[in-house]
Homo-oligomer: A and B are copies of this chain.
Amino acid sequence: MDIQIEQPPVDRVRQKPQGERRGLVLINTGNGKGKSTAAFGLALRAHGRGKAVQIYQFVKVPSARFGEHRSFEQLGVPVEGLGDGFSWKSRDLDHSAELAREGWAKARQAILGGEYFMVVLDEITYPLIYGWLPLQEVLQTLRERPPQVHVVLTGRRCPQALIDLADTVTEMQLVKHAYQVGVPAQRGIED
């Protein structure tokens, strides 16, 4: 129950960053919670600043109506499910792969079009690691995008080449999870 008391930080004269403001590639990966919710939080922040945001979800089905979909609808932020929830519903993996490629074509156009401040590619690592999307094309799209466009990618086991290309990468590490002690998923928390 002890706590290590620390001193608050003193004012530091921070070196002003020398770089330019520009669109970033941000990745949330790892086995812990918070990869998608942190991407949603970023979208919420950008939207609040009056920026155009588009969210694509590579696993969720188009009809998904989780809490986040309802709130983003209220905000007027478009969220598009591109998948078929393959990990528990579909066993037609050829169809899942086809959906991923069709979805990526849309997302690619949104990134390259330059009309969005931020494009979120939620759970895109799964179609990548299942070999459904060509990693090279994703990397190339990110490299060739208009310089002001921010792209946020989420999902476990992010390919190293994406990490190398990204500007900001966070690994969400699972320390513990309520599921491990038998608490079931709950509406408003998990979906």
Q: Which A residues lie at the B interface, using CB under 8 A?
A: 1-9, 11, 16-22, 24, 26-28, 30, 32-42, 44-49, 51, 66-72, 74-75, 86-88, 91, 93, 96, 117-118, 126, 128-131, 135-136, 139, 150, 157, 159, 161, 163, 166-179, 181-184, 186-189, 191
- B47 contacts A37, C-beta separation under 8 Å: no
Picked from B39, B128, B170, the residue with its CB within 8 Å of the CB of A175 is B170
Q: Considering the chains assembled together, what is the distance between the CA atoms of A184 and B21 in angstroms?
A: 6
Question: This chain: how many copies in the complex?
Answer: 2
CB distance from A181 to the nearest CB of B (A): 6
Across-interface contacts of A16 in B (CB, < 8 A) = 184
- A39 contacts B42, C-beta separation under 8 Å: no
Across-interface contacts of A67 in B (CB, < 8 A) = 44-49, 51
